[in-house]
Chains A and B, each alone.
Chain A
Amino acid sequence: MVKAEGLSKTYTHTWAVDHLSFTVGKGEVYGLLGPNGAGKTTTLRMLATLLRPSAGTAAVAGYDIRQQPLEVRRNLGIVNGGMQVYERLTGREVLQFFAGFYGIEGRRFRERLEWVSALLGMDRVLDKLVREMSTGMRQKIVIARAILHQPPVLLLDEATAGLDVFARRALLDFVLQYRGLGHALIYSTHVMSEAEEVCDRVGFMHGGKLVYEGSKAEALALGQGSLERAFIRRLEGGA
């Protein structure tokens, strides 16, 4: 579903992302892990065609991010941290606005809305203005916006930032649910404990480089049951 090959991004003599290669298959959650400034967000922005790679390329759902940006976007959903949604629109209006870009209108929109409402449990808040919604409800609107067109690839970038314990739990449960539908997810975070819960494979990023990649079980073994410890050991040049 996602295949990155030598993906790189430079900013005036600095490699923000340095020749990154990885693949994510169907029904798989890939954890892109690392501290702030490791290059995770830049990587996701390149996959989402928001940034142009300086070198290398990637394919999302079979479409090249350099050659077919609009096709890539049609097959992608993004959930960012911070619950950023248009505050002066209602939940329904936000979803209708974005759904239209994917050609989802009329009856098709109503069907998708029912599907996403049932999946996330959000039917009662749809007609509220976003600015009147709780943090958890906003987060559901953000997720619904990202998956209403049922993208085969979903990118989550620090998606639990600013969430309370209930909303965080709901998001992690959603990740597993969406994986269960056979979709590919890239879960980018600096919170290793979250990755331990939802990821199937992980890649450690540091200084723009992918310094480790393996299955969650392998990484946990490396860190004696902790991804955080595995990350530190890997950076210190341990096993």
Chain B
Amino acid sequence: MSAVVRIYIKEMLSVLRERRVLFTTLLLPILLMPILMYGPLLFFGNAARQTQAQVQKVGVQDLPPVALEALRTARLEPVPTATPEADVREQRFQAAVRFRGGTFTIYGRLSGATQSSLVVGKIETALRDYKDSLVAQALQARGLSPEVLEPVRIVTQDASRVQERAAGIFAFLIPYFLVIFILNGGQAVAIDATAGEKEKGTLEALLAAPVPLMQVVLGKALATLTVALAAALAGVGGIVLGGTLVRGLFSGLLQGTNPDLGGGLSLEPWAYAALLATSVLFAALMVSIQLSLGIYARSFKEAQSYMAPLLLVFIVPLLLLQFSDFLIQQPWFYLIPAFNVMLLLDGLVKGSAEPWQLLLTWGSTLAYAGLALGLAVRSFQREDVVFRN
């Protein structure tokens, strides 16, 4: 058995026997991701459905009787008030309406996903129906058909790729969490294998064994890579599993929410393979950086403080992925470390990745990973780093 495999097995045994690491890196993503991603939607969808079904009291001021009837038809209970705006602000009503000078003013608390906004929506629909009926009556009184207001029909159809539709509104979140989980999953093992060994005093015995340093670093890097990828698969698995479950079991609860829920992956087999290859290359790069940072740190805590900013560094480009459609993509984007991976993952999930993007990203990431691994080996060779206590 080679020294690399021996070190790999030792590191993996250490990970598998640490329940805390197993739970936080592998189990928690599977359990947490569906709740995190779909919980709020389910909750909001359920709340929206209930708001539609139930009758809410709304403050009204100077409304014509026909408008009041329209509100009642929309399952709202009008309650006269002299101070509609203050009543809503003080949460005596979820919403209120005032009619003055031919204008209906609707009051609601509209910051964020409030129940008030749902009630406002009900009022708007009711009043729009009321307005449409008034327009129709006026047109009919002049002998005109209401259809004169709609001489042409406008139909919007989603022409996006099947893959993009399947991923839906979470299209950018899948690459986002893939990157986050690779970083998070690798971190625990990388620190344990470097600063952790240093702090516990076991590193010296390992380095005194007749093993070339390259093999020591490779063994540790492979173990870290395995856990990082397993964590990423668990995280993305959680999203896909959650998406499937939610669409299958709770579709009723989602009425009133965005119909393009997505959260699924519908890719060609080659695209899954490309997704995996890209993740492996990115993980190799990150793992090498994490090992370099870990060996430089004097303790577990110090290593954590070095690696925390690493996560923050990737948050900004990841958030920019939301707007990737507005980005005029240039070939050199696919040479920028890490950002190229994020762009490619986004393209793969949406089914828009081109072969040249794959080649540029893979080639450059492989080169960066090689350089980072070289840096890690160099760090292990440096006395002032290894014995930095």
A residues near B, CB below 8 A? 45, 48-52, 70-71, 73-74, 76, 78, 80, 82, 84-89, 93, 97-98, 100-102, 105, 129, 145-146
Q: Kindly supply a per-residue 1/0 record for chain B positions 244-280, scoring 1 wherever the CB is within 8 Å of any chain A CB and 0 otherwise.
A: 0000000000000000000000000000000000000
Q: What's the Cα separation between A78 and B10 when bound, in Å?
A: 20
Are A101's CB and B3's CB within 8 A?
A: yes
Are B208's CB and A78's CB within 8 A?
A: yes
Q: What's the Cα separation between A3 and B6 when bound, in Å?
A: 33
Are B208's CB and A50's CB within 8 A?
A: yes
B residues 16-58 touching A (CB-CB < 8 Å): 17-18
Q: What's the Cα separation between A102 and B6 when bound, in Å?
A: 12
Cβ–Cβ < 8 Å partners of A76 in chain B: 208
**27 pairs across A/B with beta carbons < 8 Å?**
A45-B204, A49-B208, A50-B207, A52-B383, A70-B212, A78-B204, A78-B208, A80-B201, A80-B205, A82-B201, A84-B200, A84-B201, A84-B202, A86-B14, A88-B13, A88-B14, A89-B14, A93-B10, A93-B13, A98-B209, A100-B3, A100-B6, A101-B209, A102-B209, A102-B210, A105-B1, A146-B205
B387 within 8 A of A: yes
Cβ–Cβ < 8 Å partners of B6 in chain A: 97, 100-101
Q: Which residue of B lies closest to A9 (CB)?
A: B383
B residues near A, CB below 8 A? 1, 3, 6, 10, 13-14, 17-18, 200-202, 204-205, 207-212, 383, 386-387
Q: What's the Cα separation between A167 and B200 when bound, in Å?
A: 20
Which of A45, A71, A73, A93 contacts B209 (CB under 8 A)? A73
Cβ–Cβ < 8 Å partners of B205 in chain A: 78, 80, 84, 98, 145-146
Are A86's CB and B202's CB within 8 A?
A: yes
Are A48's CB and B383's CB within 8 A?
A: no
Q: What's the Cα separation between A88 and B200 when bound, in Å?
A: 12
Cβ–Cβ < 8 Å partners of B10 in chain A: 86, 89, 93, 97
Cβ–Cβ < 8 Å partners of A93 in chain B: 10, 13
Cβ–Cβ < 8 Å partners of B386 in chain A: 50
What 7 A-B pairs are tightest by C-beta distance, nearest first? A84-B201, A73-B210, A101-B209, A88-B17, A88-B14, A74-B210, A70-B210
Known A70-B212, A80-B204; judge A51-B387 contact (CB<8 A): yes
Q: Which residue of A lies closest to B215 (CB)?
A: A101
Cβ–Cβ < 8 Å partners of B14 in chain A: 86, 88-89
Q: What's the Cα separation between A87 and B10 when bound, in Å?
A: 11
Q: What's the Cα separation between A88 and B22 when bound, in Å?
A: 14
Q: What's the Cα separation between A87 and B192 when bound, in Å?
A: 12
Q: Which residue of B lies closest to A48 (CB)?
A: B208
Q: What's the Cα separation between A98 and B201 when bound, in Å?
A: 15
Are A85's CB and B208's CB within 8 A?
A: no
Which of B18, B210, B212 contacts A88 (CB under 8 A)? B18
- A108 vs chain B, min Cβ distance (A): 14
Q: What's the Cα separation between A85 and B203 when bound, in Å?
A: 9
- B150 vs chain A, min Cβ distance (A): 72
10 more A-B residue pairs beyond the given contacts A50-B207, A78-B204, A86-B10, with a C-beta to C-beta distance below 8 A: A45-B387, A48-B208, A70-B212, A73-B209, A74-B210, A80-B201, A82-B201, A84-B201, A84-B204, A101-B210
Q: What's the Cα separation between A73 and B211 when bound, in Å?
A: 9
Q: What's the Cα separation between A86 and B201 when bound, in Å?
A: 9
- B287 vs chain A, min Cβ distance (A): 20
Give the most central of B10, B209, B211: most A CB within 10 Å. B209
Q: What's the Cα separation between A89 and B13 when bound, in Å?
A: 7
Q: What's the Cα separation between A84 and B13 when bound, in Å?
A: 17
Q: What's the Cα separation between A74 and B208 when bound, in Å?
A: 9
Cβ–Cβ < 8 Å partners of A52 in chain B: 383
Cβ–Cβ < 8 Å partners of B208 in chain A: 48-50, 73, 76, 78
Cβ–Cβ < 8 Å partners of A45 in chain B: 204, 387
Cβ–Cβ < 8 Å partners of A89 in chain B: 10, 13-14, 17
Cβ–Cβ < 8 Å partners of B383 in chain A: 50-52
Q: What's the Cα separation between A78 and B201 when bound, in Å?
A: 13
Known A51-B383, A105-B1; judge A85-B211 contact (CB<8 A): no
Q: Which residue of B lies closest to A49 (CB)?
A: B208
Are B202's CB and A85's CB within 8 A?
A: yes
Q: Which residue of A lies closest to B202 (CB)?
A: A84
Cβ–Cβ < 8 Å partners of A101 in chain B: 3, 6, 209-211
Q: What's the Cα separation between A73 and B10 when bound, in Å?
A: 20
Cβ–Cβ < 8 Å partners of A145 in chain B: 205
Q: What's the Cα separation between A52 and B386 when bound, in Å?
A: 13
- A206 vs chain B, min Cβ distance (A): 21
Cβ–Cβ < 8 Å partners of A48 in chain B: 208
Q: What's the Cα separation between A70 and B207 when bound, in Å?
A: 11
- A142 vs chain B, min Cβ distance (A): 8
Which of B1, B17, B207 contacts A100 (CB under 8 A)? B1
Q: What's the Cα separation between A87 and B205 when bound, in Å?
A: 14
Q: Which residue of A lies closest to B6 (CB)?
A: A100
Q: Which residue of A lies closest to B5 (CB)?
A: A100
Cβ–Cβ < 8 Å partners of B201 in chain A: 80, 82, 84
